[in-house]
Structure 1
Amino acid sequence: MGQIHLVRHGQASFGSANYDQLSTLGYEQSRLLGQWYASRKQTFQRVIVGGMERHQQTADACLAELPKTLLPKGEWQHDPGFAEFDHHQVMLRHCPEFGDLAMFKQMLARHEQPQRALEHMFRAAVQRWMSGWHDDDYSETWPAFRRRTIAALERLDGEHSKQSTIVFTSGGVIATLMQHLLGLQDYQVMEMMWTLVNGSVTKLLQRPGEFSVSYLNNYAHLEWLGPPGTVTYR
């Protein structure tokens, strides 16, 4: 039986000019995950990196903590099928102010609870994207994103199905794959996106032609190794 470890990237740089970069804490979360794997002497026969810079940075920081004997000798594979949906576009179509970061921050600051206001805006933006009523507004629709992520998972099947694989990806991808495997509704995908921790691991078990969920959103390594404040969701 094979294993697939779906890793959500470390905390990215929300609020900066380029979100697709890990924050200082994001690098630390990635290193802590690597230290946890090293302590368990976890071996990987395949390393898959999604199509985002933050995926690559998480992989680099995490796997640098593992002895080379635990990692494959060949090149890591890159699969853009595990890239996140364009959250910037999704937010922008719902809230045009998001296009001007300074203006958007000012708008949030007027709310008594800015983080809660941001959450409500993002939920509404994702609902608009998932609804199918505005598909012409998006470069990738929700059904297309879902097909892409499922196809990426299915590419891990076949002759390598008895190996241990680690995939560095994003929360939207992981939540969508959970929908596929567990039969969840669209609204549950959106809810799950908000609960997945930066640097967490979702583990799948793999047999030829079959995937099942072993555990979801494990971040015990961050609680065990990291100081207070290491567990983040954005």
Structure 2
Amino acid sequence: MAELLAIRHAQASFGAADYDVLSERGHRQSVALGRALLAAGLRPDLVVIGAQRRHRETYQGIAEAMGLDPAAYTVDPGLNEFDFKGLLAARFRDGPAPEGAGMTPDGDRRAHFRTLRDTVLAWQRDEIADPPETWSAFCGRVAAARDAMIAALAGAGRSGRLLAVSSGGALGRLVASSLDAPAEQMIRLQLQMKNCAMSRLIVGREGLYLHSFNETPHIDAASADDLLTYS
């Protein structure tokens, strides 16, 4: 059976001026995941990543550990994350955002993710005027990326395997659509997703079927304190 290994990027730089750079821990996570995939025999035939730096750096760590060509991938911007900063600015353009809503080094992470959840739900209900991207446009580009990956797997044969590196929102939408789940399930899935977690989807006649969600084969009791992160 052809399958899609959908991987969330490793830990990025929460609170830094440029979030879109892996932290030192993120680099360790990506290499550890690559080693686990190699040990499990999950070598990909194809690789597709989003266009963001954290996607590329995550794949490069995986490739290093698996002995893959770190430059052998296709970029699909449809796998990029939605613009949360832009959504937040649009939602609170007439007043201050809640305290702790942004990503700052000393910020309240609970407050940030609570605001993220509420902002995404408002976005899905079309309650945010002039967002940087509409909810329907976001869904459309993720669906187009999904269809392109399915087509690529069809060309790779019945036993093909595609590894995709993306972000929590896009992957949450991909998984939710495979389950034909309501829109609000996307953010619930996203907020559960660990850094470098893998969801496995099987390609069937009518699309993708979820096989597993949020796997972390590179983490055990001894490494959890170092490698288990969510942002």
How far did 1:225 drift? 6.7
From 111, 114, 122, the equivalent of 2:116 is 122
Is 1:5–1:166's contact at 8 Å kept on the other side of the alignment? yes
From 203, 210, 213, the equivalent of 1:216 is 213
Distance 1:149 1:119 in 2: 22
How far did 1:232 drift? 1.0
- In the alignment, which residue of structure 2 is the partner of 1:44? 44
1:169 has 2:163 as partner: no
Q: How does 1:57-136 map to 2 (within 5 A)?
A: 57-68=57-68, 75-95=72-92, 105=104, 114-134=108-128, 136=129
SS at match of 1:176: helix
How far did 1:206 drift? 1.3
Task: Tell me: CA distance 1:91–1:222, structure 2 relative to 1, closer, same or farther (3 Å).
Answer: farther
SS at match of 1:25: helix
How far did 1:220 drift? 3.3
1:153 has 2:146 as partner: yes
**In structure 1, what residue type is equivalent to 2:138?**
F
Task: Tell me: CA distance 1:105–1:13, structure 2 relative to 1, closer, same or farther (3 Å).
Answer: closer
Higher helix share: 1
Distance 2:15 2:103 in 1: 10
From 208, 215, 227, the equivalent of 1:230 is 227
How far did 1:119 drift? 2.0
Is 1:32–1:225's contact at 8 Å kept on the other side of the alignment? no
How far did 1:207 drift? 3.5
Gaps of 5+ in 2: none
Distance 1:191 1:230 in 2: 22
**In structure 2, what residue type is equivalent to 1:14?**
F
Distance 1:179 1:227 in 2: 27
Distance 2:63 2:157 in 1: 21
**In structure 1, what residue type is equivalent to 2:184?**
Y
Distance 2:157 2:109 in 1: 41
Give aligned-pair identity as a percent.
25
From 140, 143, 162, the equivalent of 2:136 is 143
145-154 vs 185-194, which moves further: 185-194
**In structure 1, what residue type is equivalent to 2:176?**
Q
1:198 has 2:191 as partner: no
Is 1:161–1:206's contact at 8 Å kept on the other side of the alignment? no
- In the alignment, which residue of structure 2 is the partner of 1:179? 176
Is 2:8–2:195's contact at 8 Å kept on the other side of the alignment? yes
Is 1:32–1:226's contact at 8 Å kept on the other side of the alignment? no
**In structure 2, what residue type is equivalent to 1:23?**
S
- In the alignment, which residue of structure 1 is the partner of 2:8? 8
Gaps of 5+ in 1: none
Task: Tell me: CA distance 1:161–1:155, structure 2 relative to 1, closer, same or farther (3 Å).
Answer: farther
Is 1:49–1:167's contact at 8 Å kept on the other side of the alignment? yes
**In structure 2, what residue type is equivalent to 1:197?**
K
**In structure 1, what residue type is equivalent to 2:34?**
G
Superposition TM-score, scaled by structure 2 size:
0.87
Distance 2:19 2:182 in 1: 28
How far did 1:76 drift? 1.4
**In structure 1, what residue type is equivalent to 2:39?**
S
Aligned positions, number:
222
Distance 1:167 1:87 in 2: 21
Distance 1:227 1:196 in 2: 15
